[in-house]
Structure 1
Amino acid sequence: MLHTNHSFLAGGGEMGALMRAHDWRNSPLGPPDAWPSTLKTLLRVLLSSNHPMFIWWGDDLIQFYNDGYRQTLGPERHPAALGQPGRPCWEEAWDLIGPDIERVMREGASAWYEDRLVPLTRNGRREDVWWTYGYSPIEDEAGIRGVLVICNDVTEDHLLRQRLQQTNHALIETMDDGFCLVELIDDADGRAVDYRFIEANRAFARHTGLVDSVGRTARQLVPNLEQGWVDTYDGIARSGVARRFEEGSEAMGRWFNVYASPIDHPDKRRVALLFTDITDKKNAERALQASETAARAAASQAEADRRRLDALLSSAPVGIVYVDEHGALSAVNRMNRQLWGEHPMSTSQDQYAEWRGWWADGSERHGRQIRPEEWALARALRGEQVEADVVEIQPFGRPHERRTLLTRATAIRAEDGAITGAVAASMDLTDQVDTQRALRESEEKFRTITDAMPQMVWSSLADGRNDYSNRRWLEFTGLDNSELLGTNWIGIIHPDDLPVLQALWADSLASGTLFEIEHRLLHHSGEYRWVLNRALPVREEAGRIIRWMGTVTDMHDQKLAAEELKAANARKDEFLAMLAHELRNPLAPISTAAQMLKLSGTDPKRIAHASDVIGRQVRHMVELVDDLLDVSRVTRGLVELECEPVDLKSVIHNAIEQARPLIEKKGHTLSTRLGAANVTVTGDRKRLVQVMANLINNAAKYTPDGGEITVCADPLPESGQVKLSVKDTGIGIEAALLPDVFELFTQAKRTPDRAQGGLDWAWRWCAAWSTCMAGRSRRIATGRDGAAASVSSCRSVPTARLAMTLAASREARSPRTRRCAS
């Protein structure tokens, strides 16, 4: 239960509860029991008041406030402000409020402000807040103990006045009558001597001829101004009573009906003047010279004024309705009847139940039917200021129609503040709502279509920042739309392609031309895939680019297929070159034998030898042509081997016979070491001859003139194999080429001295055939002084096994060995 000594904190809603629960022991005030009676009394008043009130107490300005004030603080200060010193709590506004507080505490002077701007941070943002408030000193026998603040947040009223002023200014500018606002200028004795124009519309300048009057005095505009006019306006301002009178002169030739009304202002005396040109009326009065006619003319003018007001209401683009203090409809303009249909003129608020409407403001009550007491007019009659009610109504007599309205309402008050009625204005938002709905449906349809497309679709703003990516982007990249917004897409472009892409994109943004490029895009698997990226600008009617729409097509497989086709074409060309090379080898001994026939005369042995050479080489060529012309079988490794017992010695001699012309031409020394030549192996004779001929021919071709070539046959008893070696003093094999020596049709870089054609590394042909013969088991090894390539075989039940090894030495003059094993 509340301690009896704390009864002054009883009640007070939330703030009373917070004060009672607050731990005051560690505060400068100490326990509430010890608080001064003045503070206790003021706190009792503060907690019992519905008006926003605030207390700063003591030198530290310890803060107390009630529920009314709590509503204005925002979460940044409430509830932390309770018991907190004033200056740190209001640091952001201390330059405005601090001097007043310090003056009150120091001098005991009160202060009062109306509609004062004191910006504050509320609800997480900086807000312009207008206040009406006053500071009063709190005194007791010990002196000034604190400051009492009675305040009110008048931001909404201030903004409403601003809007009303803007509206009034716009209405005044559209008036046919001249309007001006003047301010009386006093002399030192307080006597009005002139007046200054504060505001004037175009009609005033047109009627009076006083152009650019705002900011100037009447005597500046009319030097011979009669003092009587100054006295008239001064009298109206001082009395506070409006007057209507005529103004003009024969000299001017113009007459006006002037309605002068005083304007409330705390410091200035101001009068609003409405000039109605009555020159024609005055001329008519003089012509008829009858006061009765003048009276009828004045009445007619008054009626015109009323009709003008009616016309203004009828032509207003918003629905306007007036009700009296009981809620009875007293006036409804034409637009309101268009919105609501021919509704009954309700005579009380209870009859508002006939109005069918639903909340359409997007809040929790959205879609709920509006109760009679919730309509804007009913709430305005209770004193509420209704700023923006968004409702959906069913007009009377049109049961299948719905319209969306934005309604504002305010009370009409008498001079004493009593509510005498209310006025509501409703703006038709139906077309706007329908447009927004259609826009949402169109956007949903667009997203559905783009998500159904097999391509990646994207769009960007006119400046190139991405704002949309369809579902295919997520499936391809693994990134959702939010991760690709702005310029985040840069991170998934291959770094080598990004500079060119950005340059083309910048050019398209500047020129509005088609954007198109092939580049690599990061796939969600982690690999880059080739895509085709295209975009076109979207232009408004005036031709200005408002956005870009683009598609990205995965063309990785097509790209690789095209590259493979290109590579296959290159392999075809190389194969044809190899074919020419293979056919040229037998031609050399044939040509030599043909020359021997010319020189042999009648020597039967030489004729027989030349004939044998020609016959063997022609047969060899026929066999080669039969196999080599079938390109597809060769490139797929489907050439069939005719395996039979083969005399190894005859293979070596036949190969040397093919290479002999080139060896002799280049002046090479050929030596043989055929210790294991008398061996029979199982194999394809013509392939073995082809292998050896290629090795010896290449040795001869790529060894400088006068070199040495050695052909060896060495037994390998432990493995049942024979090793055939061709060594030379030529150029060897470059280390960079070694990883590719077993790929078909690989060539080293050609130099001017290698003009004989064919494959640079003819022994590669040997490796290819050996692969076919050995079941495609291959290995490559490299060493410090050179490189070696070998092919091993696992033939079933061979009579013997033949091993050939290819090697190349990087030493300048050391022999080079090429070996092929099968």
Structure 2
Amino acid sequence: MPPEGRTSPALNFLSGGGEMGALIRAYDWDTTSLGNPEHWPQPLKTSLRILLSTGHPMFIWWGPDLIQFYNDAYRRSIGPERHPSALGQKGQECWQEIWPIIKPQIDLVLDGQGHTWNENQLVPITRHGKREDVYWTYSYGPIDDPQAKNGVGGLLVVCSETTEQVLAEQRMKAAESRWRTLFDQAPGFMCVLQGPEHRFEYANKNYFEIIGQRDILGKRVIDVVPEVSNQGFIQLLDQVYLTGKTYKGVETPLSIAGAEPIYIDFVYQPIIDEHDKVTGILVDGYNVTKRVKFSQSLREQDRRKDEFLAMLAHELRNPLAPIRNASELLTQATQSNKKLQKIGHVLARQVTQLTRLMDDLLDISRISRNRISLTVEPLNVFNAIEMALESLSNSIKLKRHTVNFDATPSTVFINGDLTRIVQCFSNVIGNAVKYTPPGGEIDIKLATEQGSAVITVSDNGCGISQDMLNNVFELFVQAKQTLDRSQGGLGIGLNIVQRLVKMHGGSISVASEGTGLGSRFTICLPQTVAPNVAADNNSAPAKIARSILVVDDNKDAADTLAELLTFQAHNVAVAYTAQQALEAVDSFEPEFILLDIGLPDMNGYEVAQCILNKYSDKVLVALTGYGQPSDVSRAKDAGFNFHFTKPVMLSDLENVFNFAESSLEPV
């Protein structure tokens, strides 16, 4: 036989099986009528594969001599008198003491008359040095073999020792009828535990359904259901017994060996005698698995919704990339044509709006699942508001709004994530721009109050009705829209602002005198001391022409980005597949590689690895429609220096080309 743990291909049917598997493989079968295992009949091989692959007690008798096999689960029931000597032994030699009981059943099967079934059958055996009354539930089933007499080559015995169960049933019958009636009529599961060791005195049928039909009376919980010891239940019982205080568990997970995990609501109620001493614990509870799974199903639906939004954003970003590139190219290449310039600006604004809508959708998903982490640093609130206003400058100009920004003082610092703080201000100010009629007025005030930076955004727009004021920050809530939905939006921007402000330890509130009377939003953020910043007299470095490889299977996206970069005086090559990209890296020798992730023949992560295995001086920039934190992390692990979601801004790429080795923070 091969060494333990390994089998030749012809003996794969004997692989595994724990201790008994090893013993079977090591057994010298040439000393039996079966001979070499490689030549055993296929029905025997198949049956042995089943026997060694299950945790249920199983036994096989094979051939005229009834040569014996059994698994680990079975050996625990036969005692040291027969284990391991029963392996390979003839059946009658092994079971002489009970042969009169089982021989007729064996003959019935071997004669081709079907199978036997015995439930809680008393079959006394000698075990552990003494004669024991042992109860079994078992079946003798034929193992078909066309070459054998009557077409039966042997017997498969599937059995369970039920001694403990039978004795438990006998004790249960003797229990007091009042306990049986009270407990069995209870809608939930109940049991009574006595003493500091928590020994079972009684349990109702619902309790047995949960823990399985085990012998429990008089035994400790830890002995009956040892699997709960590492689930905290024994510790809770100890606590209730020692303190005399009731414990209530809600939707608590419970795992019992041999059963599906469930959830329970339960109460541990101390039983106190006339001397105010705790003598036991009453356990009362309900299986609430259906309720919990229904809640989990709702959460799963939310998760799928979030995944759908992420996929939707990815699919939308891909076509937006060439539109962004085209708008940028149109704007820069038509300096003398105002009409074309105007078209380029329109395209750029609409792409920016669509990108913001997608980012808002994804932010709701990320915040809801606590997937957003803040990069906190001291920042000047005045500068953040200026950045928000700059991002909205085109919208403000189009609607001819007057914006009054009163910042006294102008150096108020908070600890915050600059990107997220600017996003909050942009959403609130953008809300004012959106809902204020053309030619309206927007007032922005920055002040300090009781250690907080207070930012107020007021407008003379359409205002908010009283019934909407309490709901304005809720997800997907909007004021009534006209049929043309001229104000647009998804009703999620203010919800995002509220969540982000709260993550920064602040608050946001809204006030309005009613419809047509404008509105006022107030953001309060904890103030901090101004950081000591050394003066920076370094001028920005001059723009440098770079050699750049653009890799994207979306030809429109690749070609428009290449044209745009070429217009910036860069030397650009294009590849549409992973193979073309790897060839271009060798022939074109680019400094920077703008690499799409979703390529048809090899994904971008694999391409990056191939490049880095050969070249260590390339700057890899991931351009992708996926922008989840996990995508950024995966890009970093693959060796990318930077990660951008589509559509990428030209200014961001120029920053990479000019400051890749100094100013920009890589992924």
- What TM-score comes out, normalization by structure 1 length? 0.25
- What TM-score comes out, normalization by structure 2 length? 0.30
Q: Give the number of the structure whose residues are more often strand, by fraction.
A: 1
Larger Rg: 1
Q: Which structure exhibits the higher relative contact order, with contacts defined as CA atoms closer than 8 Å and separated by 6 or more residues?
A: 2
